[in-house]
Amino acid sequence: MNLKRRANKKGTVVYLGNGRSKPYAARISVGKDIDGKIIYYDINKFETQIDALVCLENWIKEPYPLKITKKRYNRIEIFTCFPNTNTPYPLVPVEDISSSINRKSKKYYTFKQLFEEIYEEFFPTKEEIKKELEEHIKPKNKYAYHNSRNLITAFNNSKGLYDKIYSELKTSDFKNYIKKSNKSPNAVKQMIQLYKAMDTYAFQEDIIDKCYAQVIKRPRIDSASKRTPFSYKQIEYLWNIHSEDNKEELVRDLLLLAIYTGCRAEELCFIYTKNIHLEENYFIGGLKTTNGINREIPIHPLIKPIFEKYYDIKNEFLFMKANGKRLYYADYNNYYNDKFIDKHDLLKGKTAHCGRHGLETELKKLNIKPTVINAIIGHTNGNTGDDIYNHISIEEKLEAIRMVTFKPGRICVLADRRKTS
């Protein structure tokens, strides 16, 4: 059922579907969370559309405080204000109002409503996200930020299920939707993970009697494309990707940096501006293992323009988001899944870690000493002491990295063309 859209900040009437005694909700937006996701609030539910519209009009004219759970309230980063004012809607945070919703009514939850309830209960708040990303302390009894982002991505890829009554969905419904979505194996994995998580919660809440999503098998990813180096053709293809979408362009650049530096994606997202020495052609980075942390990493001549593109002495980190905040690995992973990989079939199954593996392989082909390779990549060798790695000079590393071409001539030409474009 299509309902006319009302003016901004005046709420809307939402049809909740068949099988409800009160299928119309008077809904308003109370704000946005840290990711820009709109947070909705249903003032009340009604038998008719007209009653819901009257409720909205009356509340806008004479607003009264609305009880909202503290969990939802704490998610709000930007509060919605009344039209033409700076006065936010009157919200009263309370410990728990979920008890007012009986289990019988949940039987008619739509897919979207069930997800929203799970979101409220098990997804981290903005404070918890900040603590996890900055202090590496994950919230208790909630999804870690990276997992929560994957589930949100899967939810966004499931729009065709939003209005379906969840208790009526069967295994075939999930399978058919996944098949028709034509998503990448990685995106399908995320969708199945979401459906299984929703099934578990729905079963615990007596919304369903059987977990139909639990029997869905995850798609196999071709082992030939899993953590194998980028081919020369794929590297050439990467150099030729030009996009007006900044997020897609960012993923392309990070993949190229991974290919030519051997860094993990997490390490690239954590490069401090102060640790970049463009004139000397190296930067200090690395997060894992004794030999990997704070190592001097040479900058290949072909990727120096990428460093120069993002380098800004005023920023704390090399990679920053449009809102002025640093780019975290979870952001990169989200851009990779949402903005990049589904557009480039030639790169399916390829990740930043494939670039790391590829550089190591290429250096071995060039007969570079294992100690130099490990000093660049940051690997640990049980037979080699840390002191040996620490005494590999940046000049030795630069000499080795400059020998890497991944295809003599052709990539160089492409890189030169990018500099002048």
Is residue 226 in some structural domain? no
Same domain, 28 and 129: no
Q: 131 pLDDT band (50/70/90 cuts)? A: confident
Q: 129 pLDDT band (50/70/90 cuts)? A: confident
Is residue 24 in some structural domain? yes
Residue 265 has pLDDT above 80, yes or no: yes
CATH of the domain at 338: 1.10.443.10
Same domain, 95 and 156: no
Phi-psi region of 17 (alpha: psi -120 to 50; beta: other; left: phi over 0): left
pLDDT at residue 6, rounded to an integer? 54
In the chain, the N- to C-terminal Cα span, in Å, equals 50
Same domain, 145 and 211: yes
pLDDT at residue 100, rounded to an integer? 44
Q: 277 pLDDT band (50/70/90 cuts)? A: very high
* Separation of alpha carbons 236 and 417, rounded Å: 13
Q: What is the mean pLDDT of the chain?
A: 82
* Separation of alpha carbons 350 and 85, rounded Å: 49
pLDDT at residue 204, rounded to an integer? 82
Q: What domain count does the chain have? A: 3
**Sign of torsion, CA 82 88 89 90?**
negative
Same domain, 173 and 273: no
Please report which residue ranges of 138-243 form alpha helices under DSSP H: 145-156, 171-181, 185-204, 232-239
Q: 421 pLDDT band (50/70/90 cuts)? A: very low
> Which pair of structure tokens corresponds to residue 267?
């390490």
87 HSE (CA, 13 A, CB side) = 7
Is residue 227 in some structural domain? no
Domain boundary among 220, 246, 261: 220
Range of the domain at 296: 232-420
> What predicted TM-score, i.e. pTM, was given to this entire model?
0.51
Hunting for tokens 């000093």 — which residue is that?
375
Same domain, 207 and 271: no
Same domain, 29 and 155: no
